[in-house]
Structure 1
Amino acid sequence: MDRIPVVIVGAGPTGLTAALELSRLGVSVRLVDRAPRPSTESRALAVQARTLELLRVRGVGDSMLALGNKTGAATLYADGRTLGPIELHRMPSRFNFILMLAQSESERLLTEQLARQGVKVERGVEVTAVAESVDRAGVDVTLHSDGGTEEVVSASYVIAADGPHSTLRRALGVDFPGRTLPQRYVLADLHVDGELADDQVSIFLARRGFVATFPMGQGRFRLMATDPAGIVSGAGEPTVEQMQRLFARTVHIPVRLHTLNWSSRFRINSRHVRSLRSGRVFFGGDAAHVHSPAGGQGMNLGIQDMVNLAWKLAMVLDGRARPELLDTYDSERLPVIRRLIWFTEIGTRVFNSTNRFVHAARIRLAPRMLGRDRVQNAAASMFGQLSAGYRDRALAQGAGGIGPLRPGDRVADAGGLYDALDLGGLTLFAGEGAEPIVEVARGWDGVVSVRPWAGEPLREPGCWMLVRPDGYLAAAGGPGDAASLERWLERWFLRR
């Protein structure tokens, strides 16, 4: 049978991003999802700064910005008083806020861009089996459609983006270790009449649990809360009346809740795979990691998984990179995932506790901590996923640096730098006096594109930096580093 380069299973934000990136890079894909139609539920809300930086230059970010609601702070309250804000405007990005946009809208925008690139989501198609091809050069995937037809598709690679109950993960026997946290939560998307801030996330802490509100614009909010007293009783989904009672016992602001769009109960699973790769199958998004929704990180993590993987996969498939480059997907993303899961668990424990001593400590310490610039700057960068990087990983070894910037660090999108990126390969930004480096780059046509640059951080004569398609530094140095750049390129890439 004809072999498809990549089959992507799951058409949520992760799978859609994978298809978007690969098809843009000229890789033929099939994107399948067992759901017969797109979800209309809001689910994940937060679109973080790093995600917006990456999606803007890929044709989606501006549409998200036009539809979403910007929040400039996450403010803590307790016992009727303000403890302090986390000042999101400190994010070192032009997108120094959290954008609130329903997941259904994010998926719609990604799907529309994907259609413009000539790819359609195949819905009502479920994976029933997956196995290594006989020639060991691919993966055979059995697809079963709602109409009853079945086909076996051979793919060079498969991306499993099929959610927390991943069929592919189970079929391949990949463990999903972790734990289920004991607390029970409720959430609802509804309208609020009252003086609830619509330009910030508000978190109300109390001995008897917490309530967090996320403004979605035009009077619509997401409410998330713990319910240790069991106010939301019964087997059905939470009602407006139950959410009103839960809100009133924790929050000091009088409001009226109405027009419920969607509600649910849930418990938090905190899990991740031990490896993001099983042979020729790569895992991303909820199929690879699930965690507390604290900080609105999950959807962004999956999107960024795929931006990391796609350019590497495309370059290997078209013979520009060595297969070993694909191993760096796991070695780079898994530490980011572990760190984020650890952070969200810590935050969840602090917010969830009903212990009176913990609550007293929260009230006493929060204002002190939030009054420190160092804490504010670190928190803002973490929320925006701007501090995540790949320094000291395999791909960053032997690649120099420039000033405080090291390989694996995020390169700031300053002065239109991201607009100058070659999103299908490496981009060399060279200042005056870097001719020996430019000469090396010319020998790697199709792998490296050369761009003159006079702005930050190339202020010193002869300085240069090589930037990856995902906006991270690949290598950097001065005019005397031509030989080391050549060795680094030889390690990971192939001349045409």
Structure 2
Amino acid sequence: MTAPTRIPVLVVGAGPTGLAAALELSRLGVGVRIVDRASHPSPESRALAVQARTLELLRVRGVGEEMLPLGNTVRAAALHADGHRLARVELSRMPSAFNGILMLAQSETERLLTEQLGRQGVKVERGVDVVSVRDDSRSVSATVRSAAGEDECIEAQYVVAADGPHSSIRKALGVPFPGRTLPHDYVLADLHIDGSLPEDQVSIFLARSGFVAVFPMGHGRFRMMATDPTGVLAAHGTAPTVAEMQELFDRTVELPARLHGLNWSSQFRINSRAVPNLRSGRVLFGGDAAHVHSPAGGQGMNLGIQDMMNLGWKLAMVLDGRARPDLLDTYSSERLPVVRKVLRFTEIGTRVFNSTNPLVHALRVRMAPRALARDAVQNAAASMFGQLSAGYRGGELALGAGDLGAMRAGDRVPDTDGCYDALDLGALTLFAGPSAGAVVDVVRDWEGIVSVRDEGVSSGWLLVRPDGYLAAAGGPGDGASLERWLHRWFVRP
């Protein structure tokens, strides 16, 4: 084998998470290679939902708006039981310009990310498998094998492991993946449904035998997820047929419909797991390599992409010496609480929807309309589904960072009045009001760390991160506290 190839970052896995990592790092000028063991991208739709928060972040990175015309946006999620609609979650209440859930096949999301990555000068290396990895605290040595059987040694300063739920990197490093497999069996299929199902809402049908959920993909195509209450389909171990999906549909849904045109299907059990830390030395885990959970709510792919939006700017600033190395530790300390909350939410939702206990069924039929009649519940549900309520308030990076009115460090900054278009996506951005001249003077010594925008704030100032979260905030007299916070995490030029 020849001498090792030295690069700043190796990304392993070219699903949405790995592509987002390479996209963000290359955009920030970091030398990156991305490899994937599969010889071709998967043509299957797999993950379907693109949430509002993901679209907000991808829009300013050249991808989000391009997604919209290719998918089908749903504005509500309706619960049904016993032939009646129980309640409806108004997803249009999301506090975002993208106030709905975009149903777009994962294959299309991957294609758009890959094309943008290509425009940034990076090509996915396919048919390349990582056969060994070693972290010696100064760098990570990885041996990769091409489809032709040729080995190459790569020495990277950091590795981003985005190689899926069966991550070879995670296993090679002995990183635990605690959690559990939920007991029930499920089926999933993409097909056409002829009937009266609306194409602008998710429809969930609850019954004593389990549930059926249908997600409209547009033009009469739907993703259908259902309980396999008897376990018969799981027992024979083959992909469900149209006839079997029709039987499950008819058992639960009291609407006449004809299922046909099956594209693909699968049967599965749900795993709910997460690594105890997203960082192991110089290896950083994200997406399904770090956390897996129920598909309820369409959270998974978005969680992985947002992992990389959190990580990318931090890793880039550490690599070029603008940030202190321990800034990278905040990747795990910020994202893991968000991940664990999603795991709890999806697990509880799956148990409630899947219960065959008649008392539980009666309770959910009675309580759902009452709970969802409240505006506060509607607003909270819409924000949660869109991943707009996720934030990092109270985390280590937010300590000593101040606040301004209701805004606290770690909160999502709404993308209003062109705010995200004004962000420096490679550094912190200070939005300063007319009274914050002394604070502006402080950050002038932090060129390359902070960019100043004399706009957008009537009084005081907001310091916004490249991933659209509030880094720090305060009033005209808070320049000294801002400087202390900057010194804690960054290196003044």
TM-score by length of 1: 0.98
Q: Partner residue of 1:226?
A: 227
Report what 1:486 is aligned to.
483
Q: Does 1:67 align with 2:61?
A: no
Contact 2:5–2:153 (CA under 8 A) maintained in structure 1? no
Letter aligned with residue 322 of structure 1: R
Distance 1:278 1:288 in 2: 11
Percent identical residues: 72
Aligned with residue 95 of structure 1, among 98, 107, 111: 98
Q: Distance in 1 between matches of 2:218 and 2:347?
A: 28
Q: What letter is aligned with 1:147? A: A
Structure 2 residue corresponding to 1:277, chosen from 270, 276, 279: 279
* Separation in 2, partners of 1:230, 1:197: 29
SS at match of 2:153: strand
Q: Deviations over 1:211-260 (max 9, x none)?
A: 00000011110000001134646332100111111101110111111110
Tell whether the 8 Å contact from 1:184 to 1:226 is kept in structure 2 after alignment. Answer: yes
Residues 376-409 of structure 1 deviation map (CA, whole Å, 9 limit, x = unaligned): 1111110000111001111101111110100000
Distance 1:174 1:490, change over 3 A: same
Match of 1:175 in 2: 176
Q: Deviations over 1:257-312 (max 9, x none)?
A: 11100100010000000000110000000000000011000000000000000000
Q: 1:29 aligns with which of 32, 51, 58?
A: 32
Shift of 1:63: 1.1
Does residue 54 of the first structure (1) align with residue 91 of the second (2)? no
Instruction: Using the TM superposition, give the Cα deviation of residue 433 of structure 1 relative to its aligned residue in structure 2, in angstroms.
Output: 1.2
Aligned length: 489
CA distance in structure 2 between the aligned counterparts of 1:236 and 1:286, rounded to whole angstroms:
24
Secondary structure of 1:249's match?
A: helix
Name the residue aligned to 1:194.
195
**1:70-81 correspondence to structure 2 within 5 Å:** 70-81=73-84
* Alignment partner, residue 473 of structure 2: 476
Letter in 2 for 1:104: S
CA distance in structure 2 between the partners assigned to 1:227 and 1:3 by the alignment: 50
SS of 2:393's equivalent in the other structure is: coil
Give 5+ residue unaligned stretches, structure 2.
Answer: none
The answer for the alignment partner of 2:450 in structure 1 is 448
Mapped contact 2:142–2:155 kept (Cα < 8 A): yes
Structure 2 residue aligned with 1:130: 133
Name the CA distance, whole Å, in 1 between partners of 2:341 and 2:380: 14
| Residues 155-192 of structure 1: CA deviation (Å, up to 9, x unaligned) | 00000000000000000000000000000000100011
Alignment partner for residue 438 of structure 1, among 440, 443, 468?
440
In the alignment, which residue of structure 2 is the partner of 1:375?
A: 377
Residue 467 of structure 1 corresponds to 464
- Structure 2 Cα separation of the partners of residues 2 and 489 of structure 1: 35
Aligned mates of 1:187, 1:221 — CA distance in 2? 11
| Matched residue SS, 1:275 | coil
Q: CA separation in 2, counterparts of 1:51 and 1:67? A: 16
Distance of aligned partners of 1:188 and 1:60 in 2 relative to their CA distance in 1, 3 Å threshold? same
Match of 1:251 in 2: 253
The one-letter code of the counterpart of 2:183 is P
Q: Residue type of the partner of 2:17? A: T
Moved over 4 A (4+): none
* Counterpart in the other structure of 2:316: 314
> In structure 1, what is the equivalent of residue 155 of structure 2?
154
CA contact (8 A) 2:167 2:289 kept: yes
- Distance in structure 2 (CA, Å) of the matches to 1:230 and 1:2: 50
Does the Cα contact within 8 Å between 1:79 and 1:206 map onto a contact in 2? Answer: yes
Q: Distance in 1 between matches of 2:435 and 2:466?
A: 24
